A and B are shown apart, each in its own frame.
Chain A
Amino acid sequence: MSDITKKIISSILCLAAIIIINFFLPRLMPGDPVLMLTGQNEESISAAQYQSFEEKLGINYPVSIQFKNYLVNLFSGDLGYSYHYNDTVANLMKNRIPNTLQLAIPSILLASILGMFLGCTMGYTKKQRLDKSVTTAFIIINAIPSFLLAMVIVTFFAFKLRLFPLGGLNSIVVPHHAILAFGDRIKHLILPISTIVLLSLPPKYMMVRNTVKSATKEKYVLYAKARGISSFRIKFVHIFKNVCPPFITLVGLNLAFVISGSMITEIIFSINGMGELLYEAAIYRDFPTLQGCFFIISIIVILANILTDITCVMVDPKQRFGFYESN
């Protein structure tokens, strides 16, 4: 079995596992599944209401039929109904997903480019001290809890220095002109995106730096030097080409981490995204919303993972030509 089919199969299995977890969590946990699935309190609910909920959810049916219904609902796009927000979960998501992606995608791209560039430069440099100090800085950033970093950044850049808005995606009064509105949006995005970039940079940077550092001892680098190839070309063509495949795999594996980071950043910057939704749902124990969030985020992460795996195969000639299998 080739690596890529293996990855795709495990992605599908992962999705199945998430569906199963989502289905069984409210049913197996101690407590009344009806109350859990509706997110209601025992005190606030009348017997008649309870009955109607019970029928609506089909809790009385055998588990197999419940599961079938659950799957049918899921694939027709029905993620449940949030009684806290008085809206379907699908609708809630629809408004929030673009906001989260707006933060996550630029951050992933920026962090990948920056991580690659800094990693290549620091891994190849002869200035040991520079390398050491940059690496130590990243080790420290990596140790800071994500929410704290976001809070500190807000406090200093928005609260104390007043360089950027405190939060949200727009000013209270959005400018009418399209370009001005866009500028306003960018202004609001700078701080959260740089927070997420800072959060997701260390693992990428360290991986690239370590790989480049060990690649500088490779024979092909020595030979390229002996042929008089410029160090810029050695760094960004020769070594880069060989660091790319593992790097892309890492970016794929870290996607979930970046999305978690952007969710936490949303909470701090009070941006109307999935993260804030998850946070509020967790506070109010709004289980349908929680599960819906979890399911959608998982799908995004898994799809993105498959995407990175395919990119990885396209970039790595050794995988394309089946080098690993023959050996």
Chain B
Amino acid sequence: MKKILSITGLTIDSQLMHGSHRIVNDLSFELEQGETLAIVGESGCGKTMTALSIFGLLPENCTASGTVTFDDCNLLSLREKELSRMRGIDFVLIPQSGADFLNPGLKVRTQIYETLKRTGIKDKRILEKTACDLLNSVSFQNPDSIMNKYPFQLSGGMAQRVVLAMGLTFSPKLVISDEPTRGIDSNTSMAYLKELTSVFSDSGIVIITHDISVADYCKNIFIMYAGECMEYGDCTRILNNPSHPYTKSLIAALPINGFSLNSRKASIPQDFLNTGCTFYPHCPQSTKKCQTDKPEKQIIDQTKVWCHHVKS
């Protein structure tokens, strides 16, 4: 399969009032056509920043370094104009909840049309028809009435499907879905994920989530903690046989596995640490070495793990 996205050594720094702060440190992963990758991590671990850096939409005080190769060009070195031409066509963002991400002051129709107009369609009737088809394909029964509404008149699920339809306008090579399951109950979220993976079956999908159970729908999984990669590899292998203590604790925290107080010492990610393993303050197995030395990449069963306790 063709490789569409490959990220090597992505590092994001943010400038704050009291100095620079590293959000994401030295991430590397790849994505093939038709593959689904889950980036799993807690809030604030840098998942969304990673996604935004692909779009070139980092906040002004953040800078990214490393390479993000998409279609043989490094996205980080592209100019704003060239990036803006690619955004929404070659790679698409499906935001976490449609209601917040649609403009409350414009009708759904206007917002769908303005995306459609980028295909070069100018005729009103064709626009209308294409928009209806798009909304039909995300199982809306009466697209016309939806289009005449304002986003705040839609329910959360409806808004999310509208956003999904807007992502479908072009057949994108890369789809990044930010927290697709946030705010939806688990039954609906599974249905939504199925829909997401089926409508974009030809593209590479990156699902950003804090919920490790989402990974069931993905081929590969990428586990992040405080801006660093902990474990990266095939999904079923990692879920069945986790090697990193962090992954283990994430799996232990799933509702199916019961309630246990000792699964984690604390839940708030620490600031990025310059020395040692980022996870050591919360790791049940931490040793002196974890505090002083950065763990090297270990490969077991084609799974990449960054931990001192794992021996290949």
Contact = CB atoms under 8 A, between A and B. Distances in A.
A contacts B directly (C-beta below 8 A):
yes
A223 B102 contact: yes
A131 to B, nearest CB: 12
A220 B102 contact: yes
Given A222-B57, A233-B114, A317 B105 contact: yes
B57 A225 contact: yes
The interface residues of chain A, by DSSP majority, are classed as helix
A238 B102 CA distance: 10
Contact of A219 (B85, B100, B105, B107): B100
B182 interface: no
A226 B93 contact: yes
A224 interface: yes
Interface string B61-101: 00000000000000000000000111111001101000011
Given A233-B114, A241-B105, A227 B88 contact: yes
B57 A237 contact: no
B301 interface: no
A125 B100 CA distance: 23
B95 A223 contact: yes
B86 A228 contact: yes
- Chain B: interface residue count, which band? 20 to 34
Contacts of B152: 318, 321, 323
Nearest to A223: B101
A237 B106 contact: yes
Interface residues of A, number: 24
**Most interface-central of A225, A227, A316, A323 (chain B CB within 10 A):** A227
Nearest to A243: B105
Contacts of B115: 227, 229
Nearest to B115: A227
A68 interface: no
Contacts of A317: 104-105, 107, 150
A222 B101 contact: yes
Contacts of A220: 100-104
Contact of A224 (B85, B103, B118): B103
Interface string B219-242: 000000000000000000000000
Contacts of B118: 228
B103 A226 contact: no
B106 A227 contact: no
Contacts of A244: 105
Given A220-B102, A237-B106, A226 B57 contact: yes
Contacts of A233: 114
A45 to B, nearest CB: 63
Nearest to A217: B59
B153 interface: yes
Contacts of A323: 152-153
Given A222-B95, A223-B95, A227-B92, 15 more contacts: A219-B101, A224-B103, A226-B55, A226-B92, A226-B95, A227-B88, A227-B115, A229-B88, A229-B114, A233-B114, A238-B105, A238-B106, A242-B104, A321-B152, A321-B153
25 contacts: A126-B60, A219-B101, A222-B101, A223-B95, A223-B102, A224-B103, A225-B55, A225-B87, A226-B87, A226-B92, A226-B93, A227-B88, A227-B92, A227-B115, A228-B118, A237-B106, A237-B114, A238-B105, A241-B103, A242-B103, A317-B104, A317-B107, A318-B105, A318-B152, A323-B153
Closest 8 CB pairs of A and B: A228-B88, A241-B105, A228-B87, A227-B88, A223-B101, A226-B93, A220-B103, A242-B105
Interface of B: 55, 57, 60, 84-89, 92-93, 95, 100-107, 114-115, 118, 150, 152-153, 163, 166
